[in-house]
Structure 1
Amino acid sequence: MNPTTARGSLLAALACVLVGASFTANSVLGDYPYAGGQFLRYALAGLLLMPLAGAGARARLRALTVRQWLRLAVLAAVGMVGFNLAVLAAERTAEPAVPGVFVGCAPIVVAVIVPLTAGRKPQRAVLYGALLVAVGAFTVQGWGRTDGAGIAFSVCALLGEVGFAVLAVPVLRPLGPRLLSATVCGLAAAQSAAVGLLVDGPAWLPRPDTTEALALLWQAVVVTVIGFVCWYMGMQRIGAERATLFSGLIPVAAAATAPLVATGSYGLAQAVGSALVGAGVAWGSGALRAARCARTERPRPTARDTAPEATSGAEPRTAHEGIRKAEPDAAPEATRGTGHTP
């Protein structure tokens, strides 16, 4: 594993651990209006991220097309506001483990969607690794009481998790991780404010108490500012397929941090599930790395390979040409593809 891949894997893993810890923080925000809390979280995160966006941020934003702005708006609506709303709605009629299990299946969906959009077939070994991650997430979370509505909203949460990764791929390169995170946070804050006014009316943004303020501050600074930037920096280095494998760490982190606020326990099932998630990540990542190495090491056709052998039976015209024909294997393989890790 080269340094770029190792750094990208660590960044993606850290981001997913922070998101998993945010589920624990959500447990102390049960009485605070959903939309108001999301507005405070994303608005504060956007304000903190804008100074970190780097030089030329305004120029890069102005260069975006209408289609790219629509993609960013959908990313914020589906992968951020919609995802959190779906989890909250699912937990009204289902135990928290149910949406957690569905979200743990995100690597399987991404392992199918990303290759198809790139014009290639999904790799069987990657699918096996993603399936192992999903099984590990199920083992950590278990299964709980639910109904049709709980399952439907859990599926919506799964789609939101997938959209958060897949929708960002075309806009990650022109914006970069920091500016992309700042932009979608601003859009998500505006969308949350609109939802709050429509659903909760004038009471959509009450003053949080000390515990709620600390939880919102954790979500804004640690989970959103640090977590989002780490996620997109990791995805930039290792790709969406491999980065999403680490989303199996989300339920693991949630289960590991739940005892800190007395909302759960970490036992043998959680330990076994964590080991399965780790094995699935290693399996899927290894398969992706092997496939990428095979693509980059495949030699490109040279002029000698593609030119018609019209003079194969003719005598060499010069002594120098005769030397080249006598020693065809002496030329260095200068045309071999090199490739690079994104």
Structure 2
Amino acid sequence: MNRSTSTRGTVGAAVAMSLVGSLTAVSATIADYPVFGGQAVRYAVAAAILLAVCRAVESRRAGPRGAETRRAARPTRREWVYLAAVAGTGLAAFNVFIVLATEDTSPATVGTVIATVPIALALAGPLLERRRPAPVLVVSACVVTAGAALANGLGSGTARGLLLALGALAGEVCFSLLAVPVLPRLGPLRVSAYSAALAAPMLLAAGLAADGAGVLRAPTGAELAGLAYLSVVVTTVAFLLWYDALGRLGPDRAGLFAGLIPVSAVITTVLLGLGRPGPADLAGAALVAAGVVIGLRPSRARRPETVPDGPAGREPALEAG
């Protein structure tokens, strides 16, 4: 991994998780909109944008062998299985668990549980690649998680709420790990587009089961702005940056930046005038920063570059956002 690749992955992961962290505050603008319907709209709009960009990129690259190149870039049956698993666990199920968990426990508790993502990725990522987790990454992941939990605040709730929060944590981990096998060939743009497209009908089905005909309605002006932000910024842009960073840094190193989610949530809340950070918020942010710095220190054994290359996998800068 060269310096430019590492820098690009680092910046991309940090921006992606910061954008995801803004979701909590912005979601307040669509609090009265049907939850599953809103999420289905969010992913449908993001998928439409991403698929349009896919077509534009492929058209720009099309030449005498353009049709052959497009066919080569289409997912195989095995890749469709992985993409459906990403959509079902990391997108649809994650949102379902979040919604159900907050009915039984506080958002702070849910956030604290999800804040353990860095530890899970620091352990599971290397194991899936048949290598030992780097001790420094495990330690730094624990520091990041402690900071994220401190920034979130330790809440309380029921055992059912805790189990549902753990389900959301599993979905967040799957969002990254299940994408790793398909990123080298398909690239971040196609993985983002296809997973979002598959998640939309899954969430719509969940909404129909939960809300019936009320799953969708015309949004108000504020709701429309909130849905647009979630679709374009939190989903389209953040997905592209995250999956690009995942291929460049690996799930263990990239996972450290998940600790920025609650910190970004605090900052967004302040910017929107919804609250002010307390001592725990500031101390948590400092711990997260320290953990990320520890985990990203240069090491002798560099992880090989895994960003797609070759005619069927390499994409121009447009694809990575």
Q: Shift in Å at residue 35 of structure 1?
A: 1.3
Q: Which residue of 2 aligns with 1:335?
A: none
Q: Which residue of 2 aligns with 1:10?
A: 11
Work out the CA distance in 1 between the residues paired with 2:121 and 2:139: 13
Contact 1:101 1:138 in 2 (8 A): yes
Q: Shift in Å at residue 149 of structure 1?
A: 1.5
Work out the CA distance in 2 between the residues paired with 1:256 and 1:215: 17
Counterpart of 2:76, as a letter, is T
Contact 2:114 2:169 in 1 (8 A): yes
- TM-score in terms of structure 2 length: 0.87
Aligned-partner SS, 1:27: helix
Mapping for residues 12-91 of structure 1, pairs under 5 Å: 12-53=13-54, 54-55=57-58, 58-60=70-72, 62=74, 64-91=75-102
Aligned-partner SS, 1:139: helix
Name stretches of at least 5 consecutive residues in structure 1 with no aligned partner: 296-338
Mapping for residues 1-342 of structure 1, pairs under 5 Å: 2-53=3-54, 54-55=57-58, 58-60=70-72, 62=74, 64-286=75-297, 289-293=298-302, 340=305, 342=307
Aligned-partner SS, 1:266: coil
Q: Shift in Å at residue 261 of structure 1?
A: 4.0
Counterpart of 1:290, as a letter, is S
Greater shift in the superposed pair: 12-21 or 268-277: 268-277
Indicate the RMSD between aligned Cα atoms, in angstroms. Answer: 1.8
Structure 2 CA distance for partners of 1:340 and 1:82, relative to 1, 3 Å: closer
Work out the CA distance in 2 between the residues paired with 1:80 and 1:211: 24
Contact 1:60 1:175 in 2 (8 A): no
Work out the CA distance in 2 between the residues paired with 1:195 and 1:42: 14
Counterpart of 1:2, as a letter, is R
Work out the CA distance in 1 between the residues paired with 2:206 and 2:234: 22
Aligned-partner SS, 2:30: coil
Work out the CA distance in 2 between the residues paired with 1:149 and 1:212: 30
Q: Shift in Å at residue 61 of structure 1?
A: 5.4
Counterpart of 2:175, as a letter, is F
Aligned-partner SS, 2:296: helix
Report how many residues are paired. 295
Moved segments of 4+, more than 6 Å: none
Work out the CA distance in 2 between the residues paired with 1:178 and 1:67: 18
Alpha-carbon deviations, 1:119-170, whole Å to 9, x = none? 1111211110000000000110111121111111111111111111101000
Work out the CA distance in 1 between the residues paired with 2:301 and 2:289: 21
Identity of aligned residues (%): 38
Work out the CA distance in 2 between the residues paired with 1:291 and 1:111: 18
Contact 2:105 2:156 in 1 (8 A): yes
Contact 1:44 1:220 in 2 (8 A): yes
Q: Shift in Å at residue 220 of structure 1?
A: 0.4
Q: Shift in Å at residue 38 of structure 1?
A: 0.9
Contact 1:133 1:280 in 2 (8 A): yes
Contact 2:247 2:306 in 1 (8 A): no
Structure 2 CA distance for partners of 1:81 and 1:60, relative to 1, 3 Å: farther
- TM-score in terms of structure 1 length: 0.82
Counterpart of 1:243, as a letter, is A
